């Protein structure tokens, strides 16, 4: 996950608190076996994108879904509460197959999230979408069924990065408060500015000038600020619609 995306999650919801256990399933089936079962369901669902969408294929796919499943997605962000709605709102195809799958496996619930690039056809035009897909599967007797899925389009940043002399990054290193209990630790290594929200790996902040940075795959930007003496005291996170939140340097 990219640094500014992580920051947005912290700001909006505080959902990074680990409110649920990530213990492996305690039933007779191992996490590896459960994962293999979910992978087989995902293959049925994803093959539809490359198939002929025949009635038989759609029926087979529908059987992988819980009847009362919820699907949030589509180009308008609409919600359906049946497997039929999910099946009828499929994109036209992939340009990049699903990848980077992440699993959370519990006794009777599996959450899997992954990235993909899909496309939709509009007349003679094609719309490309980078998407984060999250699916929730529940155990129904001895079978797993998909009960929820959401497609979240990922922002594409068209801002061109610039080459800035590392000398301009002096003073950016340190810790910034981004809302308790998290901090953003900024370091400069090999001329690159790196950000790490509490508990996460370091990611590069890409400069657009000597004080403004973007993160790959996100449209917001971080702007470092100095006081009258030239000391870095904070950075401001700015959204494209003009909203700004200031985070103080605490260390």
Burial 129-153 (b: 16+ CB within 10 A, else e): bbbbbebbbbbeeeebbbbbbbbee
The whole-angstrom distance between residue 58's C-alpha and the CA centroid of its chain comes to: 28
pLDDT at residue 1 tops 60: no
Residue with tokens 């605490």, as numbered in its chain: 250
Q: And the tokens for 44? A: 């049925």
Tell me what pLDDT residue 47 has.
84
Tell me what pLDDT residue 145 has.
96
* β pairing state of 125-140 and 203-207: unpaired
Q: And the tokens for 97? A: 């197959």
Greater confidence (16 vs 142) lies with: 142
Tell me what pLDDT residue 6 has.
57
**Integer CA distances (angstroms), 200 to 7, 89, 132, 195, 205, in order:** 11, 35, 19, 9, 14
C-alpha–C-alpha distance, residues 31 and 29, integer Å: 7
As separate numbers, helices (DSSP H) first and strands (DSSP E) second, the chain gives 4, 14
Tell me what pLDDT residue 94 has.
80
Tell me what pLDDT residue 86 has.
84
Greater confidence (250 vs 23) lies with: 250
pLDDT at residue 18 tops 50: no
pLDDT band at 38 (very low <50, low <70, confident <90, very high): very high
pLDDT at residue 192 tops 50: yes
The pLDDT tens digits for 93-151 are 788 888 999 999 999 999 999 998 888 777 788 888 788 999 999 999 989 999 999 98
* β pairing state of 244-248 and 232-238: antiparallel
The pLDDT tens digits for 51-76 are 667 888 888 899 999 989 999 976 66
Burial 172-187 (b: 16+ CB within 10 A, else e): bbeebebeeebbbbbe
Tell me what pLDDT residue 88 has.
75
Tell me what pLDDT residue 147 has.
96
Share of the chain above pLDDT 70, in %: 86
pLDDT at residue 173 tops 90: yes
Provide the CATH topology of domain 166-248: Lipocalin (2.40.128)
Tell me what pLDDT residue 76 has.
66
Determine the average pLDDT of the residues in 198-216: 89
> Within 13 Å, how many C-alpha atoms sit on residue 171's CB side?
14
Determine the average pLDDT of the residues in 191-215: 90
- Tell me whether the CATH fold assigned to 3-153 matches the one assigned to 166-248: no
Closest among 34, 52, 176 to 108, alpha carbons compared: 34
Enumerate residues 6+ apart whose C-beta is below 8 A from 180.
Answer: none
Residue with tokens 């640094």, as numbered in its chain: 3
Tell me what pLDDT residue 153 has.
81
| Paired strand residues for 231 | none
Q: And the tokens for 84? A: 């039929």
Asked whether 194 and 202 are in contact (CB, 8 A), the reply is yes
Closest among 95, 108, 82 to 29, alpha carbons compared: 108
pLDDT at residue 8 tops 80: no
pLDDT band at 19 (very low <50, low <70, confident <90, very high): very low
Residue 38: how many other CB atoms lie within 10 Å = 20
Residue with tokens 């408060």, as numbered in its chain: 177
pLDDT at residue 190 tops 50: yes
Q: Tell me the domain boundaries of the chain.
A: 3-153, 166-248
DSSP 8-state symbol, 249: B
C-alpha–C-alpha distance, residues 110 and 144, integer Å: 9
CATH of domain 3-153: 3.10.450.50
C-alpha–C-alpha distance, residues 4 and 206, integer Å: 11
């Amino acid at each position: 996950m990219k640094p500014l995306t992580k920051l947005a999650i912290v700001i909006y919801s505080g959902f990074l608190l680990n409110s649920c256990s990530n213990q492996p399933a305690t039933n007779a089936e191992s996490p590896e076996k459960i994962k293999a079962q979910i992978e087989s369901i995902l293959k049925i669902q994803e093959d539809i994108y490359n198939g002929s969408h025949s009635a038989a294929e759609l029926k087979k796919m529908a059987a992988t879904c819980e009847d009362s499943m919820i699907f949030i997605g589509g180009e308008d962000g609409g919600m359906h509460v049946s497997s039929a709605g999910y099946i009828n709102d499929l994109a036209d195809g992939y340009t990049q197959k699903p990848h980077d799958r992440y699993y959370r496996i519990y006794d009777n619930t599996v959450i899997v999230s992954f990235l993909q690039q899909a496309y939709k056809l509009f007349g003679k035009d094609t719309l490309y979408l980078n998407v984060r897909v999250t699916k929730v599967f529940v155990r129904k007797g001895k079978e797993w069924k998909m009960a929820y899925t959401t497609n979240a389009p990922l922002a594409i940043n068209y801002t061109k990065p610039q080459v800035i002399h590392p000398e301009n990054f002096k003073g950016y290193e340190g810790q910034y408060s981004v809302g308790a209990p998290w901090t953003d630790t900024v370091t400069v290594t090999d001329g690159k500015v790196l950000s790490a929200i509490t508990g996460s790996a370091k990611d590069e902040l890409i400069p657009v000038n000597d004080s403004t940075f973007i993160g790959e795959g996100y449209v917001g930007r971080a702007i470092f600020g100095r006081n009258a003496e030239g000391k870095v005291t904070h950075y401001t996170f700015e959204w494209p619609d003009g909203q700004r939140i200031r985070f103080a340097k605490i260390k």
